[in-house]
Amino acid sequence: MQGGYSDAFNFVNRSVFVPTQIDGFRAYGGNITFNEEGQGITTIENENAEQLDIKRIGIQNGAKPGQYRIEFQSDTNFTITYPDNEERQGSILTDFNFGAIDIYRLDWIGNDGTDVVITFQVFAPNVTGNPISIIRNLIEKTFLLNYGELPGTNPAYNTVPVLWSTFDELEREFKGLKVWVSETVKDNNAWKLETGKLPITYIKLAQKIADHCGCSILINEEGLIKIQGPRTYDGDVYDLNGTFLLPEYTIKGPKR
């Protein structure tokens, strides 16, 4: 989820619990990140807020992650620069709606934007909850790009090359575990798709989360994506300090 509005003064953005068939996660709006205590905070910066400020910025599903910049050329007219360096003009006298960003004229505080610069960061996703619930939703979106849909409800869900049963098993195992995920493109130059600078992908973010809980996203012999948990051996585990192991597991060499 990215859709929603974030208040520059109070954290009023509504979070939404996104259920899966087994567990789920809580999703927040696009320009929310988390502090060290897991609390949601906005990322709007404005050094001239006493001159002109904005109450809230709407960020809809599909907004590109990265930094957005609103720079005024006069008291009312501004240019908003997107993470991919696309520019659009707007005015505090009219509503602005483009590229998954909504700014409404009634949300401006003040009437003089001369030399005002406002920046904010869009994160995708901003979620907290079961790590496997989050991972499987990212993988689903990798194939279906179904922003704003509940996980597992798209008719094409079972046609993607994923062994969902492996995710079911680990999602149950990690039920009750919570992680906080707030990812963005830290360098807007990544959107230029130059060598060595690429935006993070859903699958890379999924593996980053998997690393956090000791899991690996793999491809099996049939070409299906699967997930493997931190336990790779289900047999008996022996204490190597026990002396009984020495005679029981001695390897005999060939007779001479």
- Per-residue confidence in pLDDT tens, the chain, 256 aa: 344 444 433 333 567 888 988 999 998 877 777 877 777 777 788 989 999 999 888 888 778 888 999 999 999 999 999 998 899 999 999 999 998 899 999 999 999 999 999 999 888 778 899 999 999 999 998 899 887 788 888 999 999 999 999 999 999 999 988 999 888 887 777 777 776 777 778 888 999 999 988 999 999 989 999 999 986 545 554 454 544 444 444 444 555 5
Q: Are residues 160 and 114 in the same domain?
A: no
Q: Are residues 186 and 210 in the same domain?
A: yes
**Residue 233 covered by a domain:** no
Q: Are residues 136 and 34 in the same domain?
A: no
**Residue 20 covered by a domain:** yes
Count of domains forming the chain:
2
Q: Are residues 82 and 164 in the same domain?
A: no
**Residue 221 covered by a domain:** yes
Domain boundary among the residues 122, 141, 176 is at 122
Q: Are residues 10 and 65 in the same domain?
A: yes
Confidence at residue 206, expressed as pLDDT on a 0 to 100 scale: 92
Distance CA 116, CA 52 (A): 7
Q: pTM higher than 0.85, yes or no?
A: no
Domain boundary among the residues 122, 142, 172 is at 122
Q: How far is CA 254 from CA 5, 245, 251, in A?
A: 75, 21, 10
Domain boundary among the residues 107, 122, 137 is at 122
**Residue 166 covered by a domain:** yes
**Residue 239 covered by a domain:** no
Q: Are residues 108 and 173 in the same domain?
A: no
**Residue 252 covered by a domain:** no
Q: Are residues 131 and 116 in the same domain?
A: no
| Enclosing domain of residue 85 | 4-122
Confidence at residue 246, expressed as pLDDT on a 0 to 100 scale: 45
Q: Are residues 103 and 147 in the same domain?
A: no
Confidence at residue 10, expressed as pLDDT on a 0 to 100 scale: 35
**Residue 53 covered by a domain:** yes
**Residue 235 covered by a domain:** no
Q: Are residues 73 and 36 in the same domain?
A: yes
Q: Are residues 49 and 29 in the same domain?
A: yes
Structure tokens at 2: 């990215």
Q: Are residues 59 and 153 in the same domain?
A: no
Q: Are residues 13 and 118 in the same domain?
A: yes
